[in-house]
Amino acid sequence: MSIKENLHSIHQEIETVCKEWGRDPAGVNLMAVSKMQSAQSIHEALDAGQRLFGENRVQEAQEHWQAIRDSGDYEDLQLHLIGPLQTNKVKDAVALFDVIQTIDREKLAVKLANEMAEQNRDLPCFIQVNTGLEDQKAGIAPQAVSEFYDMCKYECGLDIAGLMCIPPLDDPPALHFGLLKQLAEDVGLSQLSMGMSGDYERAIPLGSTIIRVGTGIFGARS
Ligand SMILES: *Cc1c(COP(=O)(O)O)cnc(C)c1O
């Protein structure tokens, strides 16, 4: 199937799941994760009307998107950073992205806030939560989310829009989606970035507002 057909069938699936669970499909945003995809594939997605994209690495995102951004052809383009952010890349990230989804430590929050002030850009941010408490995964521990949120919001002045998670591979994802939803409710956040190609149907009933789909749209990564 083509990228356009994949996008279409995922939109249909979103509608089906939303109907089943009494959700408005307009509240579920489909992000196309374009990491490790070709320029041609990215253009196919743009041609099919896709405007929300996610990238994992700052440098790769610049290679993929800077020229497209500068062309001014897609004014409604939305680029989210969904991979780990090193503090030495904060400047470039603030310049390129519209949303940072991976705030996971105080030092990064402080640096982001300073850089946004410097560039006069106020990007919405998500706190990444390590719902499975995995050593190799970034993110704030569930029990520390509330305190971290207060620090980001009241000490750094960041615009925190929601929470994001990547569940462990070998756990039922619904446990983690349910936990993220609960944590967001506890601090009064409405945006939930959760669900990928393999599990977005399970993230929607649990309140996902952004599903991040790579291979399901573009096929396998090169
Ligand atoms: C790669 C990636 C995705 C997309 O994964 P697929 O399984 O290809 O849909 C989603 N979220 C994050 C954080 C990723 O790194």
The confidence band for 216, taking pLDDT boundaries of 50, 70 and 90, is very high
Q: In ligand 1, which atom is closest to the CA atom of 196?
A: 9
Q: Tell me what pLDDT residue 222 has.
A: 75
Would you say residue 96 lies in a domain?
A: yes
135-161 pLDDT, tens per residue?
999 999 999 999 999 999 999 999 999
Q: Tell me what pLDDT residue 3 has.
A: 98
Would you say residue 128 lies in a domain?
A: yes
Q: Tell me what pLDDT residue 106 has.
A: 98
120: alpha, beta or left? (left if phi > 0; alpha if psi -120 to 50):
left
| Percent of the chain whose pLDDT exceeds 90 | 98
Q: Find the 23 Cα to ligand 1 centroid distance in Å.
A: 23
Would you say residue 222 lies in a domain?
A: no
pLDDT at 189 over 80: yes
For tokens 């305190």, the residue is 147
The confidence band for 34, taking pLDDT boundaries of 50, 70 and 90, is very high
Residue 82 sits in which domain range? 3-217
Q: Is the distance from CB of 7 to CB of 34 less than 8 angstroms?
A: no
Q: In ligand 1, which atom is closest to the CA atom of 56?
A: 15
Would you say residue 126 lies in a domain?
A: yes
Would you say residue 75 lies in a domain?
A: yes
pTM of the model: 0.97
Q: Find the 155 Cα to ligand 1 centroid distance in Å.
A: 31
Q: Tell me what pLDDT residue 184 has.
A: 98
Mutate which of 3, 50, 196, 208 to test ligand 1's pocket (most atoms within 8 Å of Cβ)?
A: 196
Q: Find the 56 Cα to ligand 1 centroid distance in Å.
A: 9
pLDDT at 179 over 90: yes
Q: Tell me what pLDDT residue 221 has.
A: 85
Whose alpha carbon is nearest atom 5 of ligand 1? 214
pLDDT at 12 over 90: yes
What integer best gives the mean pLDDT of the chain?
Answer: 97
Q: How far is CA 217 from CA 58, 94, 95, 133, 153, in A?
A: 21, 27, 27, 29, 34
- The CATH code of the domain that includes 160 is 3.20.20.10
Mean per-residue pLDDT, 108-115: 98
Would you say residue 113 lies in a domain?
A: yes
Q: Find the 83 Cα to ligand 1 centroid distance in Å.
A: 9
- Report residues whose beta carbon is within 6 angstroms of any ligand 1 atom: 33, 35, 56, 82-83, 166, 196-198, 212-216
Whose alpha carbon is nearest atom 7 of ligand 1? 197
50-71 pLDDT, tens per residue?
999 999 999 999 999 999 999 9
Provide the number of structural domains found in the chain: 1
